[in-house]
Amino acid sequence: MTVSTFFRVLGLGLLLEAVGCTPPPRLVMDDLPLLVQSTLRHGVRSHTFIASGEATICIRGEVHSGTVDVKHDSNGLFAANFYGPLGILIASVSAGPAQGSVTTEKGTQSFRRDQSMDTLPYAWGRDLSFNDLIAVLSGTAPDSLAAICDSPPDSTLDKKKTINIIWNTDILKAAITIRKKTNRVETVFFEHRKSAVWSLKLAGFRQGCAYKIELREDDRNYFFITYEKIRYD
């Protein structure tokens, strides 16, 4: 290889390296609504969603740590099973196209998919429908909560590393954090204030799906999920 050829190859390599390391374009405020909606409305309804990972459930102060397996197919069939350390079934959520059920050690309760779950011993049961719970367990924001983000935000905070967008009503607060380095939604947070305060946090988004889920009423009633594997068939 001649000296001139060597330097041409070296220059090409440096150029390709520079292109590969180029950061994403600066996010402008006009792009925010599209970015938010593409994350919130992504969903998994047109695919079979299969996920597994770690889960912690706290019911009236009694903590159970273990694993979770979830399957949600495009025909509307859904199943989520929570297991303890010894593989013992702690709780399950299952559904067909029209109705579903929640099973715990206290028994099984059935609901229409569009029905609120106010007979469950959780504050969020009065405000979320069974379909909303399926959306949460599938790593997506329920439509009933995401609708607040269709309106212009009440405030937008442009910080050094993030952009924080906030919506407020008398009933609901929503806050979305976007990481500037990647131009991606980092966290989605909802807080319900109507009768009893409870919150939903979605984080670790990949392909529009949250790998980290937290639904919390208080320190005695909550569940955490961290998915390790998610695939679409």
Question: Residue 188 domain-assigned?
Answer: yes
Residues 62-98, buried b or exposed e (16+ Cβ, 10 A)?
Answer: eebebbbbbbbeeeeebebbbbeeeeeebbbbbbeee
- Around 9, how many Cα atoms within 13 Å sit in the side-chain half-sphere? 6
Residue 13 lies in a domain: no
For 40, phi and psi rounded to 5 degrees? -70, -35
| Strand ranges, E, within the chain | 49-59, 62-72, 78-83, 89-95, 99-104, 107-112, 155-158, 162-168, 172-179, 184-192, 198-206, 209-218, 221-232
21 found inside a domain: no
Residue 19 lies in a domain: no
Residue 3 has pLDDT above 80, yes or no: no
Summarised one tens digit per residue, pLDDT across range 19-76 is: 445 555 555 455 666 777 767 765 555 678 899 999 999 888 889 899 999 999 888 8
Q: What is the overall mean pLDDT for the chain?
A: 84
Residue 219 belongs to a domain with what CATH number?
2.50.20.10
What's the confidence (pLDDT) of residue 229? 93
pLDDT at 203 over 90: yes
Residue type, position 106, single letter = K
Residue 111 covered by a domain: yes
The domain in which residue 199 lies consists of 27-232
Cα 116–122–126 angle (5° rounding)? 25
Question: Does a structural domain hold residue 33?
Answer: yes
205, part of any domain: yes
Q: Give the chain's domain count.
A: 1
Q: Does residue 70 fall inside a structural domain?
A: yes
Whole-model pTM over 0.85 = no
Q: What is the DSSP letter of 59?
A: E
Query: Among 123, 50, 49, 137, which Cα is nearest to 91's?
Result: 137
Asked whether the beta carbons of 233 and 50 are under 8 A apart, the reply is yes
Share of the chain above pLDDT 70, in %: 82
Nearest by Cα to 225 from 108, 102, 137, 109: 137
Share of residues in the chain with pLDDT > 90 (%): 55
Give the tokens for residue 26.
């600066």
State residue 162's pLDDT score: 93
